[in-house]
Structure 1
Amino acid sequence: MPTGVAIRDVREQLFDAAERVLLRDGPSALTSRAVTAEAGCAKGVLHRHFADFDDFLAEFVLDRVDRLDPQAAALRERAGAGTVTGNLADALTALFGSVAVAIVPLVTFRDELRARLRRTWPAGVPVLTEACTMIASYLEAERALGRIKPEADIDALAPTLIGAAHLLFADRDSTPPQDGAVRRTVDTVVAGVVREPPR
């Protein structure tokens, strides 16, 4: 890109480029050079907007976590409609069919990135802990409507669902799990607390 040409929404352009590299080539391929090449801009562009590459990556991860907010709101709105198992399976498929599953190894592999994220995110992998909050909020809404038993341990169910779904989606070299596999996993986890026939 020629010098002096303004890039509109440069942060978003760089974040989108990082997501494409991460999904296509994995966390080990995610370098500042790979991101700027994917974005079609000079390497210096990234360093003008971020203190260093780990600063960029921390902002990228938090930006992708923020994108869960609309998904969380949409899932809460589904409470009382469809089936609990179906709603959860759809939400987990959307979550782990996105960049979320690739962010986990990225955070795991980069010590400095984890240290940066700890400054604003004190525990857990941000995308997974936010996903747990999303699932727990939905389960609480369903419990309030009577479709989840009052004694259900939502604090245990939400991370169990996230962990089980992550294991289904975590293998980058194979095709994503079929809908039926996700639904069977969800049904197994929530079978004892759902007050509706499976559909």
Structure 2
Amino acid sequence: MNMSMRIDIWSDYVCPFCSLGERHLSLALENFAGREDVEVIWRSFQLSPEAEKEPQDSMVESLSRMKGAPTAQIEGMLGQLAAQAEQVGLDFNWREGVNANTWDAHRVGQLAREKGVGMAWDEIVKDGFLSRGRNIADHDTLREFAGKVGLEAEEVNRVLNSEEYSDQVNADIATARQIGVQGVPFFVFDGRLAVSGAQPVEVFTQALEQAAAAK
């Protein structure tokens, strides 16, 4: 009997809560007896499909405009999130961050998954946004990241210079809508148990145990 477990994760690269929630899941997996048999599949989702590919504003300015909130309020919110991230070893460099469009990053992400380096791609792109203030809509930045995870430059250029993998990105987003995803991160364990948001480690531990018991 195949006792492996599959976890589908819908997330967006410019979502700090996604990085935080995924770190909490990772910490829960460290103490999970069946962790070697867990397969994680990243699914595309866009929180701000209207975001610019060449952002002119800082993250604070962009969020202030989107939410209609004063910059001081946004700074306070991001500061609190950065403190939470620091507690689990993440560096949220929100002062230098930019809220760029993630469409092309998701398309290259689909290529990365096809080539077996989806997890490495997710990590390097999220780190670029979260900790390094990189514009992850910039094609040169995406090429740099792609090279670091072992993707062939010719394939990456082909994807970036076309609309390749758009159907796959749209399919992930459509599936999310069908199952009622309102925001990310959103985790589905073996297609039956869902966890929404950057929940504490204990919640993910319980979800892993429940999914394992259901087998």
TM class by smaller structure: under 0.3
Point out the structure with the larger strand share. Answer: 2
Give the TM-score of the pair, scaled to structure 1: 0.25
Point out the structure with the larger helix share. Answer: 1
Give the TM-score of the pair, scaled to structure 2: 0.23
Higher relative contact order (CA 8 A, sep 6+): 2
Could you say which structure has the larger radius of gyration?
Answer: 1
